[in-house]
Amino acid sequence: MFPIIDTSGAPRDRGRQYGGHARDRILRSIDSYARLFAYCGLAWKDVQARALPYRDEIAKVAPALAAEISGIAEGAGVADTEILALNARTEILPPTYPSAPSPELAALLERNSSEGVGRQYDWGECTALAVLPAASRDGNTWLAQNWDWIGEQRDSLVVLRVTDERGRQVITLTEAGMLAKIGLNDRGFGVCLNILRSVDDGKNPGLPVHVLLRHLLDCDTVKSATATAKKITHGASSNVLMADAGGDAASLELSPRGVAVIEPTGGTLAHTNHYLDAGQAAHAATLSPLATTEQRLGCALRHVSKATKTKLGREHLEALLRDESMGAESVCRHPDPKLAPEVRIESVAGVIMDLARRSMWVASDVPSKTKFRPVNLVAHMPSD
């Protein structure tokens, strides 16, 4: 299981606790992303410079989270701009990634090395599903996702469990140094993430999606989260699949042009890495030849269809996240050694969430290779 990090108190104090406990994983995450950005033609110092405009966007929308980012940097003993760059990595990455390596890759790796970052690590996509009470066996609302990305980032993952100064609680599986990724809160509201790409990404700063996810985890319902997201400028494209214990779900397809809302059908909602809204899709970046988003969405829909007669339980969600029926195009992905390391993605982890019980199960490797283990929102809650 990934390290579980508990933080509490005021924003900067929470950040210091997080940074101190996760320091080694934060340093590894910095090194991994330094290499990835070098592959894309950017030295780590240049990435940090590009991250700076996002600081004002974060402070404007969520000043407490800006303070927490500063605290993480202080606790980990790294520059504020490095933690800022981690949280804005989606916005800074070129919309064309994954693609051919930059012709300057070797020189940039050497420059990074001289500055102490970017060791030689191997280097996504994701499949997410919401199940509403009408389609679930126990009448609860469920979320499930495989997070597919660079395999080396598995050693940078943490489970972050936060109690803020109001006593509100959040649990999230995230990359060390980032504020959130996949998670839920004590009101039974949860979020998943699928990366999307549009031609407008990165042109102007907006709220980074990994900051947005934590900001949305301060909401109570899908309705309130949708209203919150529509008020925000987004610097890049992503899909936030979200649901609440009250039985609502939606996908927010975000781009710098705005927010499109995708509603469930038949009590479920699946999403992968392409736009479902026609208006947003008209401005999508060209998908990589390596993309398997259409195939994985089809697989998720087949799993839902097969289980509709008996309704969906946790075992059905585990079966989806472990599905290897389509080889390299499967929902559960193993690394392909034929691909360049910088574009060799795999299912880094799997997550299943029961929003009524405020519980999470995490597979801390390729899901077909390991068990889903329980991690609860509250440390002393019993696990099953």
Prediction pTM value: 0.91
HSE (side-chain half, CA atoms, 13 Å) at 209: 30
**Domains with residue ranges and CATH for the chain:** 8-114 (no CATH), 126-376 (3.60.60.10)
pLDDT at 121: 25
Residue 248 and residue 205 in contact, taking contact as beta carbons nearer than 8 Å: no
Strands 359-363 and 169-175: unpaired
Show the tokens assigned to 176: 């060390």
Backbone torsions φ then ψ of 74, nearest 5 degrees: -65, -45
Q: 98 preceded by cis ω (within 30°)? A: yes
Distance (Å, rounded) from C-alpha 232 to C-alpha 252? Answer: 12
Q: What is the pLDDT of residue 127?
A: 96
Q: What is the pLDDT, as a whole number, of residue 220? A: 98
Side-chain-facing half-sphere of 62: CA atoms under 13 Å: 29
Say what angle helices 23-39 and 44-61 make with each other, to 10 degrees: 120
DSSP category for residue 222:
H
Residue 127 β-bridge partners: 146
Each residue of 168-185: b (16+ CB within 10 Å) or e?
ebbbbbbbbbbbbbbbbb
**Whole-number pLDDT of residue 122:** 25
Q: Is 113 exposed, middle or buried (0-12, 13-18, 19+ CB in 10 A)?
A: middle
Sequence-distant (≥ 6) Cβ neighbours of residue 164 within 8 angstroms = 8, 9, 11, 14, 64, 170
User: How far is Cα 86 from Cα 55, in angstroms, rounded to an integer?
Assistant: 12
The per-residue DSSP string of 93-117 comes to: S-TT-SSSPPTTHHHHHHHHHHTT-
Tens place of pLDDT per residue across the chain (384 aa): 999 999 999 999 999 999 999 999 999 999 999 988 998 899 999 999 999 999 999 999 999 999 999 999 999 999 999 999 999 999 998 876 655 444 554 554 455 545 555 332 222 569 999 999 999 999 999 999 999 998 889 999 999 999 999 999 999 999 999 999 999 999 999 999 999 999 999 999 999 999 999 999 999 999 999 999 999 999 999 999 999 999 999 999 999 999 999 999 999 999 999 999 999 999 999 887 778 899 999 999 999 987 667 899 999 999 999 999 998 889 999 987 876 666 678 999 999 999 999 999 999 999 999 999 999 887 655 555
Quick one: pLDDT at residue 98? 54
Cβ neighbors of 305 (< 8 A, separation 6 or more) are none
CB 44 within 8 A of CB 138: no
